[in-house]
Structure 1
């Protein structure tokens, strides 16, 4: 199958080529999918997309006109794809159902520890041979209350990690995991209760209509002044303006984030020679109690292997006229009757 791979990163090329093993004709380009770059897909049966690509309604319609039949995502999240439009235009979509939940959960724990123990500042000082310990005080994680928002595959691993640190565990999820409750003495509570009680809050939910701006000024106002907030899920789960205000007013103690609400045109690029014109990101980056990484939580050898294999498996199935097990199907939202 002839496939155009958008937003190709140099680090993923060896994994894609190894998983493909010459089966499909892959054309790898660095450009992201946009309304302007959609025309590059002329003559291709399939395209492969990353999280920064834009498969909106207008782009989907262009892809259809250009002869594209399949979209395979190199990600779990699919909020950048209009599934309704894909269905309407007879374009099949599949994603990577999961990849090394340990990679993301371990990164969440890493940036939590780095934020809490002021590791970035400490390392910067030592690089200049400054061994002063002032302003480097952290707190023990042991015996602290950790709230896990979302206890799917990644949230479950984060639960295990934080239990290992000796944390008391609270969770919020629309579908509680009884096994976690028993194994790690975790208590499921309403979101408001979790926010009022937790010293640490780690977010592990997908982005959808229910979770968009789940963490807003009302929820942030409930949190403890010493609370550390960690987000390795999706940027728009947090209202960025509201969290900046909460940090400024010292409603929470710190923020560690691997994702950003407006990251699409910024992340995965070297912007060092042309600083982004983004006031919110500039404010966050200037705050000493904010730690930002550039959407790298997934970036492990194990995860890249799994992503590449699942991507090629989706193409293999379409080539054989089969439905991939990872196919995404648009479903109308449920209507809840009073």
Structure 2
């Protein structure tokens, strides 16, 4: 099928080209993001392939539908950037990659926590300046500390298991569905309020829904322990960034590790080093010594990229072969 790929990075094209040797789709790559000003680029393509920061609102959906698009293939798990009701009304199928490599995100999350707790990010900068003093680099052991994991799907379950069985932490979790395998190794499920109250480190791995938006906010932070560490490698809008900054500056929050940010769309996946970033909350966050921010790269492993490419192109092939039908678990519909 003819496929227009938006928000293409070199690593996207490399993995998609490699996988496409097994499918022979006609793929055209665009570096630009999909939005109202660029929707015309999808004209004549029955399939468009998009990523997390592409904009698929009602206006974009109408434009691409009028120009022949019948399938939106998300090369990611999240779909909050797609107006699903508009897609359904336009007769456009939406599919995604629900589980590409949970190990990639889980391992990255552990790396963020360990780096922050042992101040590895600060030590790395010092050594580059030939400063080998250890003053100010005293960290904290994770062994015996209480780790709260919000959301125990594929990624959250791996994070919980790693902290509990691997590092000797006490793990408490919150989810609408309990994972019996985690319970069997000693993970305890508690209410969200109890988790926030007890955890030394809070790791966020739940989906972004109306009731989880700004799960970490000014009120919820008041219930946390002094010195709590907030870790978000899930969805940016799970955290009210201004409230987190206030908590860090007051000293109540002991640290934060963020791979996602609620207003990341104009920032992430591009080089802005020669420009002025006018997001003052973000700029203040990245200056704090007890904060690590990375640019939405937790998913970025070779294994994950290959899995994303294979699943995405398989979804497209199934759509073509089966008269518009894709594996049910990969379809996204409006609830």
- TM-score of the superposition, structure 2-length normalised? 0.97
Paired with 2:106 and 2:223, the residues of 1 have a C-alpha distance of 25
SS at match of 1:328: coil
C-alpha displacement of 1:209? 1.1
Distance in 2 separating the partners of 1:10 and 1:275: 25
Q: Distance in 2 between matches of 1:200 and 1:330?
A: 34
Distance across 1 between alignment mates of 2:274 and 2:73: 33
Q: Within 5 Å, which residues of 2 pair with 1:215-254?
A: 215-254=216-255
What stretches of structure 1 of length at least 5 have no aligned partner? Answer: 332-338
Show CA shifts across 1:65-117 (max 9, x none): 11111100000000111111100110000000111101001101101111111
Name the CA distance, whole Å, in 1 between partners of 2:53 and 2:200: 32
- Give the superposition deviation at 1:23: 1.6
The aligned counterpart of 1:174 is 176
- In the alignment, the residues of structure 1 paired with residue 211 and residue 181 of structure 2 have an alpha-carbon distance, to the nearest angstrom, of 25
The secondary structure found in structure 1 opposite 2:310 is helix
Which aligned segments of 4 or more residues in structure 1 are displaced greater than 2 angstroms?
none
Tell me, in whole angstroms, the C-alpha distance in 1 between the residues paired with 2:139 and 2:192: 26
Indicate the SS of the match to 2:196. Answer: helix
Could you say what secondary structure the match of 1:171 adopts?
Answer: strand
Q: Classify the secondary structure of the residue corresponding to 1:194.
A: helix
Stretches of structure 2 lacking an aligned partner (at least 5 in a row): none
Query: How many residue pairs end up in the alignment?
Result: 330
Structure 1 residue aligned with 2:5: 5
Aligned to 2:105: 104
For residues 139-180 of structure 1, the C-alpha deviation after alignment (integer angstroms, 9 at most, x for no partner) is 110000000000000000001111111000100111111221
Structure 2 CA distance for aligned equivalents of residues 58 and 250 of structure 1: 44
How far apart in 1 are the matches of 2:49 and 2:12? Answer: 13
**Aligned-partner Cα distance in 1 for 2:133–2:57:** 51
SS in 2 for 1:253: strand
For 2:334, the equivalent position in structure 1 comes to: 330
Partner in structure 2 of residue 334 of structure 1: none
1:45 aligns with 2:46: yes
Confirm whether residue 19 of structure 1 aligns to residue 19 of structure 2.
yes
* Deviation of 1:275 (Å): 2.7
Equivalence for 1:73: 74
Counterpart of 2:211?
210
RMSD value, Cα: 0.9
Displacement of 1:322 in angstroms is 4.6
Match of 2:148 in 1: 147
Task: Provide the rounded CA distance (Å) in 2 between the counterparts of 1:146 and 1:139.
Answer: 13
> Once the two structures are superposed, what CA deviation does each residue of 1:267-288 show, in whole Å capped at 9, x if it has no partner?
0000101032111111111111
Aligned to 2:95: 94
